[in-house]
Structure 1
Amino acid sequence: MKKVLVSVVEDDRFLRESMCRLMRSLGYTVDIFSSAADFLASPRLAETACLIADIHMPAMTGLELCRRLIDKGNAIPTILVTAFPNDAERARALNDGVLCYLGKPVDEVHLTRCVCAALTSAGSPEEGL
C-alpha cells in the first residue's frame, strides 16, 4: 500500500505508541521518537513525508523543531499536537507553516485527514480543537 514514512515525536510513551499503531493501521511506515533531538539525529529524517510532533516536550518543543527544520531547508509537512491548546500558539504555528494544530486527546479521524492533506499537499491548514 503506502510506503511513505510518517515520523512521530512524542515524549509520552502511551500517546507515541498509540499514534504509531494508528499510522501503521493506515498502511504507513512509521518511525517514533521520544524527543526532538532523537528525531533530528535520525538517519531517515530526509525520508520523512509527514511529521507529527507534540508541542510541549522537554529540551525542544514541537514548534521549535518545526522552525529548526525549516531553517535547515528541510521543511516537512508538520502536524502539532498539544494537551494545552491556545489561540495565540495555534496562530503562531499555522503562520510558521504548520499544517494542522490539534488538541489532545487527538481525534483519530481529524489526525488521519491532516496526514492525508500533508501527504497530498492539498487543502489549507486545519485546526482541530
Structure 2
Amino acid sequence: MLHRTLISVVDDDQPHRESMRKLIMLLGYTVEAFSSAADFLASRALPETACLVTDVNMPGMTGVELHRRLVDAGYAIPTILVTAYPDEVVRDQALKDGVVCYLSKPVDDDILERCVRSALRSGTPIEDNS
C-alpha cells in the first residue's frame, strides 16, 4: 500500500541517497530525493514534506543547518538526521533542537522505519536512536 505521505531525502552522497529513497519507498511512502539542502529548499516538495531524512555532513548547508532553517521559517517538518560521522555533541544538540532521530550510517532498516513512523505520528523523539 502506497501512502500519499511525502518523505524527502537530502543527501549529497548519490549511492546513499538512492538506497535511502528505495528503502523508504519499500516501506510504502512517496519519496523525493535531493542532492543538497538548497535543492530541497527550492523545490515544490518543501511544503508537502511530512518527514525529512537528511545527511548531517553536506557541502553548502549541513543537515543541522537545514533543520534550523526550516524551523526558523515556520516549517514544522519532523526531521531525521543521518551521519557517517556520529558526534555526541551534535547529536545531543540536534535532539534538543527537535530532531526526531539521529542515526549512524549504515542505517538499520528497522530503526529507520521506527523513526519515520514516530516522525509521522507526532514528531516526538524516540529514545533508541543511536
Partner residue in 1 for 2:84: 83
Partner residue in 2 for 1:112: 113
Question: With structure 2 as the length reference, what TM-score do the two structures score?
Answer: 0.95
1:63 corresponds to 2:87: no
Superposition deviation, residue 86 in structure 1: 1.4
Superposition deviation, residue 75 in structure 1: 1.9
Partner residue in 1 for 2:6: 5
CA deviation map 1:73-114 (0-9, x unaligned) = 012000000011111111000001100000111111100100
Partner residue in 2 for 1:37: 38
Identity rate, percent = 60
Runs of 4+ off more than 3 Å: 122-127
- Cα distance in 2, alignment partners of residues 91 and 79 from structure 1: 13
Whether contact under 8 Å (2:7, 2:49) holds in the other structure is yes
Q: Aligned to 1:31, what secondary structure does the other structure show? A: strand
Partner residue in 2 for 1:14: 15
- Cα distance in 2, alignment partners of residues 18 and 77 from structure 1: 21
- Cα distance in 1, alignment partners of residues 13 and 123 from structure 2: 30
- Cα distance in 2, alignment partners of residues 123 and 75 from structure 1: 12
Whether contact under 8 Å (1:102, 1:128) holds in the other structure is yes
Q: 1:99 to 1:35 in 2, by over 3 A?
A: same
What is the 5 A alignment of 1:41-52? 41-52=42-53
Whether contact under 8 Å (2:70, 2:76) holds in the other structure is yes
Aligned pairs, number:
129
Partner residue in 1 for 2:26: 25
Q: Over the residues paired in the alignment, what is the CA RMSD in angstroms?
A: 1.2
- Cα distance in 1, alignment partners of residues 76 and 101 from structure 2: 14
- Cα distance in 1, alignment partners of residues 48 and 70 from structure 2: 13
- Cα distance in 2, alignment partners of residues 55 and 122 from structure 1: 18
Partner residue in 1 for 2:127: 126
Which sections of structure 2, spanning at least 5 residues, go unmatched? none
Which sections of structure 1, spanning at least 5 residues, go unmatched? none
- Cα distance in 1, alignment partners of residues 67 and 80 from structure 2: 9
